[in-house]
């Protein structure tokens, strides 16, 4: 046999996978969708973007780079062979009746043991809806009044810690302190017991470190989710790995649950069959666990023992980072926008004169009526939304039309950062902190405010909206007024934009401030 022919056959066999991939790319009905060249063949560029912690900025840059003439963003860009980033929160994808399940990326957030399932990474649409119904009442807006006292407790401790730092005159990591605050609020609401982060502004038992490791691991491994079950088993015994961090969090939560079980068992014996409250607890609001235990013991709503663990896990994993990021953004932008800060203080002073503020605390119902405060919060979450990756959904079998394009298969997703930085929606001042845009749009009414609300998605979209969003809003609505009325803040680097690192949650890394007591607050 001719050697040249033999070599040609061998070469053809070796190159066949590549040739086939090139053919499928060229023959694809989606070959015209723009994106980085390598993204047509591999998810590696997307993985590296996440690895660098800047996927949110890279995502925006791609939509701007490939924008057609006369538009600020390309409506669809390619991030991988079957990954398509979109700019519109299409109702077919994210509506309440959506048939688009979550993608395999969420597998990275799931425990390999199928018995240890949780709400966030649940890809089964029906099971998610059923599970969410179990939790909905204790996360509802109407339940917030019962949790307000827990927030007030932490607000008072937080104020005291900042007063101490003001007297010391040192620079402090404000994001870290805000996370300590959010962690302790979650502890109070869930267990009626703070974790203790506000005692010294330190990482109690390494919980924040464990969470950060878990976030990084889950975010990265989700891109190649098939490796997750194997990698997790290798790493779960290593304390500094993401898998090890998750194990530590699980153990911490389980320990708290066992403590409450023992406590309720003792009370039940003392109460003759029903959990007995102490004198101090009579009439006190019930925390999350008390409500869940009552639902479990009454046999209501199909509550099972595992739901209690899931509830605590969801609160701890999602309840501190998101609120800390959101509070960091609101406070940072108020500091950098003196006009907005002064206007907010004027509104708060007027509310105090009208009796809406009792001492240094503002009631949640009163805060919700304060238009400028609410606009400041919304604008802060628009400019720095807590999540920074596309909300990936799988195109259902048979294909579907999304953003005017038919997709025979693949995954589509909108990144909150892309939605919040689209000039076609928010105007030329999209990068400016301007709370007035919300009040102007509300007063104008019509399509403007409807469009803004449709593209505003700091807590997700549709049936997968963050179940704890009302808790986060309760915290922000109460602590921001306290902070801006009591303290002035000086940025260590006022001329430098805040930098962030994105491993699903987009966390500020250089929000360093000096806290000063306002003259009228010195007591």
pLDDT(345) > 90: yes
pLDDT(296) > 80: yes
Q: 283 burial class (0-12, 13-18, 19+ CB within 10 angstroms)?
A: exposed
Which stretches of 66-147 are DSSP H helices? 91-94, 125-139
- Helix, strand, or coil (residue 78): strand
CB 268 within 8 A of CB 274: yes
Does residue 12 lie in a domain region?
no
Does residue 84 lie in a domain region?
no
| Residues pairing with 22 in the sheet | none
Region 8-19: what's the mean pLDDT?
A: 60
Query: Would you give the DSSP letter of residue 107?
Result: G
What is the pLDDT at residue 461? 93
Do the annotations mark residue 466 as ligand-binding?
Answer: yes
Does residue 207 lie in a domain region?
yes
Region 104-131: what's the mean pLDDT?
A: 88
Whether this model's pTM surpasses 0.85: yes
CB 75 within 8 A of CB 88: yes
E-assigned strands of 23-144? 76-80, 83-86
The model's confidence at residue 5, banded by pLDDT at 50, 70 and 90, is low
Which CATH number does the domain housing residue 470 bear?
1.10.630.10
Does residue 112 lie in a domain region?
no
Of 150-159, 243-252, 501-510, least confident by mean pLDDT is 243-252
The model's confidence at residue 260, banded by pLDDT at 50, 70 and 90, is confident
Does residue 513 lie in a domain region?
yes
Domain count, the chain: 1
Encoding tokens for residue 342?
């002064």
| C-alpha dist (Å) from residue 422 to 118, 247, 277, 441, 455 | 33, 39, 53, 16, 9
pLDDT(11) > 50: yes
Does residue 8 lie in a domain region?
no
Q: What is the mean pLDDT of the chain?
A: 89
What is the pLDDT at residue 523? 47
| C-alpha dist (Å) from residue 211 to 45, 405, 507 | 26, 38, 13
Does residue 24 lie in a domain region?
no
Domain range enclosing 142: 125-521
Q: 431 burial class (0-12, 13-18, 19+ CB within 10 angstroms)?
A: exposed
E-assigned strands of 96-214? 171-173
Question: pLDDT tens, 31-83?
Answer: 899 999 999 999 999 999 999 999 999 999 999 999 999 999 999 999 999 99
What is the pLDDT at residue 310? 86
Does residue 36 lie in a domain region?
no
Which among 343, 345, 369 has a CA at the least distance from the CA of 356?
Answer: 369
Angle among Cα 142, 484, 460 to the nearest 5 degrees reads 45
Question: pLDDT tens, 355-376?
Answer: 878 777 899 999 999 999 999 9
Query: Would you give the DSSP letter of residue 466?
Result: -
Which among 485, 516, 512 has a CA at the least distance from the CA of 373?
Answer: 485
pLDDT(29) > 90: no
Encoding tokens for residue 54?
């800047």
């Amino acid at each position: 046999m001719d050697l040249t022919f033999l070599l040609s056959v061998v070469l053809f066999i070796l190159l066949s996978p590549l040739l086939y991939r090139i053919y499928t790319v060229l023959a694809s009905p989606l070959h015209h969708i723009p994106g980085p060249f390598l993204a047509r063949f591999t998810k590696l560029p997307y993985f590296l973007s996440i690895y660098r912690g800047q996927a949110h900025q890279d995502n925006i840059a791609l939509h701007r780079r490939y924008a057609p003439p006369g538009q600020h963003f390309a409506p669809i860009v390619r991030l991988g062979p079957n990954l398509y980033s979109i700019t519109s929160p299409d109702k077919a994808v994210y509506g309440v009746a959506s048939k688009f399940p979550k993608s395999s990326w969420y597998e990275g957030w799931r425990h390999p043991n199928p018995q240890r399932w949780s709400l966030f990474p649940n890809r089964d649409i029906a099971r998610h809806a059923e599970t969410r119904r179990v939790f909905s009442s204790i996360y509802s807006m109407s339940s917030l009044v019962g949790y307000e006292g827990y927030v007030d407790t932490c607000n008072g401790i937080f104020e005291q810690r900042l007063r101490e730092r003001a007297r010391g005159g040192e620079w402090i990591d404000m994001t870290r302190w805000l996370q300590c605050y959010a962690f302790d609020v979650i502890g109070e609401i869930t267990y009626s017991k703070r974790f203790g982060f506000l005692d010294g502004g330190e990482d109690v038992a390494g919980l924040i470190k464990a969470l950060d490791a878990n976030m990084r691991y889950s975010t990265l491994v989700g891109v190649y989710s098939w490796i997750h079950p194997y990698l997790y088993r290798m790493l779960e015994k290593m304390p500094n790995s993401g898998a090890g961090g998750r194990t530590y969090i699980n153990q911490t939560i389980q320990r708290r649950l066992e403590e409450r079980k023992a406590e309720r068992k003792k009370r039940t014996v003392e109460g003759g069959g029903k959990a007995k409250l102490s004198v101090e607890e009579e009439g006190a609001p019930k925390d999350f666990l008390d409500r869940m235990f009552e639902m479990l013991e009454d046999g209501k709503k199909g509550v099972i023992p595992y739901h209690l663990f899931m509830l605590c896990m969801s609160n701890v994993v999602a309840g501190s980072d998101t609120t800390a990021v959101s509070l960091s953004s609101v406070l940072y932008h108020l500091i950098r926008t003196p006009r907005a800060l002064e206007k907010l203080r004027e509104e708060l002073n007027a509310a105090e004169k009208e009796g809406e503020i009792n001492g240094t605390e503002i009631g949640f119902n009163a805060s919700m009526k304060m238009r400028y405060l609410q606009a400041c919060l919304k604008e802060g979450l628009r400019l720095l939304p807590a999540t920074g990756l596309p909300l990936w959904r799988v195109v259902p079998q048979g294909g579907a039309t999304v953003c005017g394009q038919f997709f025979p298969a693949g995954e589509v997703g909108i990144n909150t950062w892309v939605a919040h930085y689209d000039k076609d929606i928010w105007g030329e001042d999209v990068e400016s902190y301007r709370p007035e845009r919300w009040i102007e749009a509300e007063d104008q009414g019509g399509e403007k405010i409807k469009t803004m609300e449709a593209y505003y998605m700091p807590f997700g979209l549709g049936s997968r909206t963050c179940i704890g969003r009302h808790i986060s809003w309760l915290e922000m609505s109460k602590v921001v007024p306290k902070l801006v009325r009591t303290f002035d803040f000086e940025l260590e680097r006022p001329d430098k934009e805040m930098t962030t690192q994105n491993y699903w949650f987009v966390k500020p890394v250089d929000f360093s401030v000096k806290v000063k007591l306002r003259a009228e607050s010195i007591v």
